[in-house]
Chains A and B, each alone.
Chain A
Amino acid sequence: MIDLKAKSACEGLLPIEIGGVKLSEVAPAEMTLIAPYRGKEAALAKAFGGRWPAAGETASVEGGVLVWFGRAQAMLIGTAAPTTLAKFAAVTEQSDAWARVLLEGAGARDVLARLTPLDIRDTAFAVGQTARTELFHMQVSITRVSKDAWQIIGFRSMAGTLVHDLQRAMKGVAARAI
């Protein structure tokens, strides 16, 4: 019998800490992509008690959080999606498909600023806001989870690249510190 070893996306790569900025892997959780069918958006929102995230927003729901994940879709993280949602939306279990990391520390924003064209100033990107954007050359989802902490979700198959790009930027920022 084959004995498969469970490995998280960034196992052996994280955590790292450079210049007071910490990059760590977020504990694996259930992730389900929910994409409402045309005309079913309102019914779907109702299933979540009206807490369906608008573009660029997150919404906490029972047991987890809904992260807006692009046009007409959101990722439910932290809890399983009720099967009844299938009436309103395409529901895809994607827990194993993504690498989820947390970049935190006073200099975390400077690190991100080296990698993404996104406007991440307080005035443009408050706590709880989310965006699909580029990180170096790769499409990711970035969510600001607190004042100095950012959750980045990238493709699991590119986890090594994700960590490498972030690590290089962290080194760069640390090298500029006085």
Chain B
Amino acid sequence: MRIACPLCGERDLREFTYKGAALALAYPSEAASAQEWDDYLHNRDNPAGPTRELWYHGSGCTSWLVVTRNTVTHEILAVELAENAEEASA
């Protein structure tokens, strides 16, 4: 598997670390209910198909990336810098 880092170009998987659903970028507001925080912290969908996830290019440019990956085929559909990613709940 290879990921095309927006800064470094296409790189081998070994340079990256998987973090989790990109949902982590979507903080609930301070006034959010306990239920909303519970969802944010613990509850994730587990779709068969395209998902948006956070990857860390730790052995490269040290960017956080939002990678759109098909969990069925492992196909990488899109990669963007997390700093540029729109609120990632999709």
Interface residues of A (CB under 8 A from B): 55-56, 70-71, 117-119, 124, 131-134, 139
Contacts and interface: CB of A to CB of B under 8 A. Distances in A.
Interface residues of B, number: 15
A71 B12 contact: no
B47 interface: no
B7 A71 contact: yes
A133 B11 CA distance: 9
B61 A117 contact: no
Interface string B44-81: 00000000000000111111000000000000000001
Contacts of A56: 7-9
A117 B63 contact: no
Q: Which of B7, B58, B63 has the most CB of A within 10 A?
A: B7
B57 to A, nearest CB: 8
Top 9 closest A-B pairs, CB basis?
A117-B12, A55-B7, A71-B63, A134-B59, A70-B61, A71-B61, A139-B59, A70-B62, A132-B60
